[in-house]
Structure 1
């Protein structure tokens, strides 16, 4: 009896999870300028602060 009860609860939970997984926030919510930075991600940049030098082959001169 317990296994049937918990099996039904598990199936209903999975059904609700997969139905609710399709719900997405509107673009008005996701494109705000003052959103909370939940995961601490910063804007990644490819620029490294410091000096740089061009590397050239001696044969080209």
Structure 2
């Protein structure tokens, strides 16, 4: 009886550990995607800003 309860406790703790690891991994991937998206968006906005700045600069002098 003691062995059976011990085994079920191990199984439950192992299952909880797997769930925690999976959830943390999914959160890590989600946060990485958010950071990559923010980085790409800021990079693109920077290029758009430079493009508009140069085009306005050139149109001002032409």
TM bracket, shorter-chain basis: 0.3 to 0.5
Q: Which has the higher helix share?
A: 2
